Amino acid sequence: MKNLHILNDDIIPTSVDLITQLLTSEEAQKQFFAAIYHQGRVSEAANRQSDLELAGTVVSAIVESELVAFLKRENSKRGAKKNYRNGYIPRELHVGKEKLPVQIPRDRNGVFRPSFVHTYSREFRPSIEDILSFAVAEGYRREELAILLYQAYQDQRSDGLIIAKQMPILFESLEKWLTAPAPGTIRLLVGWEKRVRHCAGIEKRICGVKQLEPDGTLSGICAWACDADSDEDIEAKLIHFVKTKCGVNTVQMLFALNHCDAFESAAKKAWPQVKFPAV
């Protein structure tokens, strides 16, 4: 599974890797997804609390890893004083009727957008779409999604049928969640944005990590491409990427999710034989 941010020769794990490391068994993975999406499958209070603690650990680790990658820092240390530059801010994620404490890293070089907390704080319902949105955003392939759905739901239907029925719903869900409306404006999954800077008189907002190797996710591809100096360079990088690293299905999905003129043009030039969905 290619889901690593490659930055300055340092490999920084994304949330999929962290989940894999922390949840080593299939049963632990099932319990994590059940807890974080409020599936209500764990009835005993003790087990429920254990799952919530596990979910809190994973979510905190996800936010931490994204901050490390985003700010190009080795770590984010706690400070002795409250106004210390780096530290942690306590937050609570509301999972059903319970509160899940999470430590959010802070740094004056970046701005934390609450969209990540809001995403996890909403009242989750037993929904395949929620799990699919989370998994696709983190770089899961279609085959891996089928396995994830089987683990989470123990569904006896064919894996291909599950994916085929849910992909149209997934597109609609992800479009609202991950759409990048224009070149140079990218929304990271966890809500981190670089502060706006002025370069050559042009306001340039980049949400992502410079010199980011595309990891196959929408935010990874766009952050990597939009680090170019012009729309022409962006298109050239995108054409190269979709020709060398993307399959047709991946390009079609990204095309549907990314309302970006440069990406649209690049996708059509790289795959002239493919009929792309209307956006």
Tokens found for residue 122: 């909403």
- Report DSSP state, residue 245: T
The alpha carbon of residue 173 and the mean position of all alpha carbons in its chain are separated, in whole angstroms, by 13
Q: Which residues touch 126 (CB under 8 Å, ≥6 apart)?
A: 37, 39, 40
- pLDDT, tens digit, for every residue of 20-78? 444 444 544 454 454 444 333 333 444 444 545 555 555 555 545 544 544 444 444 44
- pLDDT, tens digit, for every residue of 227-255? 445 555 555 655 665 555 444 444 444 44
pTM for the complete prediction?
A: 0.21
Residue 99: phi and psi, rounded to 5, are -110, 135
**C-beta separation of 131 from 152 below 8 A:** yes
Asked whether residue 265 carries a pLDDT value surpassing 60, the answer given is yes
Spell out the domain ranges in the chain. Answer: 1-77+85-113, 127-178, 192-270
Burial class (CB in 10 A: 0-12, 13-18, 19+), 99: middle
- Integer Cα distance of 238 and 241 in angstroms: 5
- Integer Cα distance of 11 and 209 in angstroms: 13
- Integer Cα distance of 93 and 266 in angstroms: 39
Average pLDDT over residues 168-190: 38
Asked whether residue 13 carries a pLDDT value surpassing 50, the answer given is no
Nearest-10 crossing angle of helices 142-153, 128-137? 140
Asked whether residue 14 carries a pLDDT value surpassing 60, the answer given is no
